[in-house]
Structure 1
Amino acid sequence: MTELEKMVAGHPYHINDPELVEIRYQTRDKTAQFNQLAARDAEQKTQLIKQIFGEVGDNVHVEQGLRVDYGFNTKIGNNVFINYNFVVLDCTDFIIGSNVFIAPNVQVYTAIHPLDPLQRSQHVGQAKAIHIQDDVWIGGGCIIMPGVTIGKGSTIGAGSVVTRDIAPNSVAVGNPCKVQRTLDTAPQGQSVAHNMLTLP
């Protein structure tokens, strides 16, 4: 297997493999172009987002301040809004479902480094996939750690560090992020007034 194949499959790999370095350079060149565009250049920004990420659905809006490791491992559904300063270390699959809101300063890490200092000094890495399912709201300043799935319809409070899976329709907050309660649900298009809340 190549180092690229190892990385995507979640096996240990050499981070500074020339092929991987070149992919990172190309992705960072494109994100730099994206971040320098004028706010009104919506069409150009959309085209660059489609070049940066592996799959991009309809009605996807990404604000500037974007930072991405590889890009091709990230797949985004429909009707997604990503606010300022989104950081993505997508060494393996990072999946965003449809109807997802991501607030400013959210960081997503699929990347893992060894606990052994000797291995770290040899620039060995590994990665675990992250999945944000449909209808999720990620609050500002959240960090999502390797291997996590955030279930459909969940809300993650601002400043949370998500280290474990979050069940669907949950309100979860904290460091480490923990479920505070399960949301009541209503038929599509109806509001549930008592589910409106301000998270820390």
Structure 2
Amino acid sequence: MTNEEKMLAGKIYNSGDPNLQEKMRRAHRLCKIYSDTFDDERAKRQDLIDKLVPEHGKNTFFQGPVFFDYGINTKIGDNFYANYNLTVLDTCPVVLGNNEFFGPNVTLATPLHGLLYTDRNTQVINSQEVTLEYGKPLTIEDNCWLGSNVVVNGGVTIGAGSVIGSGSVVTRDIPTGVLAVGNPCRVVRKLTLADQIKLKKELW
């Protein structure tokens, strides 16, 4: 498998792969150009959206500024609205349904890293410097509203018609048709050598 194939499959990959770096640079350039446009430059904005996120439906609107890692790994349905500072880290597939409504500063983050710094730091493997990473896909079904400053982690599915309150950090699946709020962050346990990424056989 190529590093891109591994990345999209949620396996360990080298994020410094030249092919991936070039695709990221392209997306980052498009994001910067889009973020420098004005609301009434509709034709220019539409052209940039078409290039940045080719798989989108009708009536896609980003207030801007906007940031995507790749763009090409995100799929958006019809009638999508995002207020300013939308961030989509789409190292794994991100699927957004129809009639989505996002407040300011929403972050969708699929990348994951080893919990131990020795796994996060740049390593030398076969005489080559590599930065190991993996991720999990993310899905937001039709007709959802995400309030301002919501963070959705990789591996999560938010069910159709649900509302996520401002400032929420979504780390687990949300069922359909509910109001969900809050930040679940809390101390669970100490980190140990058992957290080494090399022991997670399902990721390799």
Matches within 5 A, 1:4-83: 4-83=4-83
Select the residue among 125, 136, 151 that pairs with 2:133: 125
Matched, 1:142 2:150: yes
Bigger shift: 157-166 or 53-62? 53-62
- Checking the alignment, whether the CA contact within 8 Å between 1:65 and 1:86 is kept in structure 2 is yes
Give 3-state SS (helix, strand or coil) of 1:55's partner: coil
Give 3-state SS (helix, strand or coil) of 2:95's partner: strand
Q: Which runs of 4+ in 1 moved over 6 A?
A: none
Bigger shift: 1-10 or 35-44? 35-44
Query: What is the CA-CA distance between 1:54 and the residue it aligns to?
Result: 3.7
Query: What is the CA-CA distance between 1:116 and the residue it aligns to?
Result: 2.3
| Aligned equivalents of 2:108, 2:121: Cα separation in 1 | 23
Query: What is the CA-CA distance between 1:165 and the residue it aligns to?
Result: 0.2
- Checking the alignment, whether the CA contact within 8 Å between 1:28 and 1:69 is kept in structure 2 is yes
Q: Which whole-Å deviations, capped at 9, do the CAs of 1:116-172 have from their partners, x for residues lacking one?
A: 211211321001000000000000000001100000000000000000000000100
Query: What is the CA-CA distance between 1:22 and the residue it aligns to?
Result: 0.6
- Checking the alignment, whether the CA contact within 8 Å between 1:111 and 1:128 is kept in structure 2 is yes
TM-score, normalisation: structure 1: 0.86
Select the residue among 148, 161, 165 that pairs with 1:153: 161
Identity of aligned residues (%): 40
Give 3-state SS (helix, strand or coil) of 2:61's partner: strand
| Aligned equivalents of 1:176, 1:149: Cα separation in 2 | 16
TM-score, normalisation: structure 2: 0.85
Select the residue among 146, 162, 168 that pairs with 2:170: 162
| Aligned equivalents of 1:83, 1:47: Cα separation in 2 | 19
Letter of the 1:171 partner, please give it.
Answer: L
Structure 2 gaps of 5+ residues are: 123-130, 186-204
| Aligned equivalents of 2:38, 2:84: Cα separation in 1 | 14
Structure 1 gaps of 5+ residues are: 178-200
| Aligned equivalents of 2:18, 2:177: Cα separation in 1 | 43
Give 3-state SS (helix, strand or coil) of 2:88's partner: strand
RMSD of aligned C-alpha atoms? Answer: 1.0
- Checking the alignment, whether the CA contact within 8 Å between 2:151 and 2:168 is kept in structure 1 is yes
| Aligned equivalents of 1:29, 1:59: Cα separation in 2 | 22
Bigger shift: 96-105 or 45-54? 45-54
| Aligned equivalents of 1:174, 1:38: Cα separation in 2 | 34
Query: What is the CA-CA distance between 1:46 and the residue it aligns to?
Result: 1.3
Give 3-state SS (helix, strand or coil) of 1:46's partner: helix
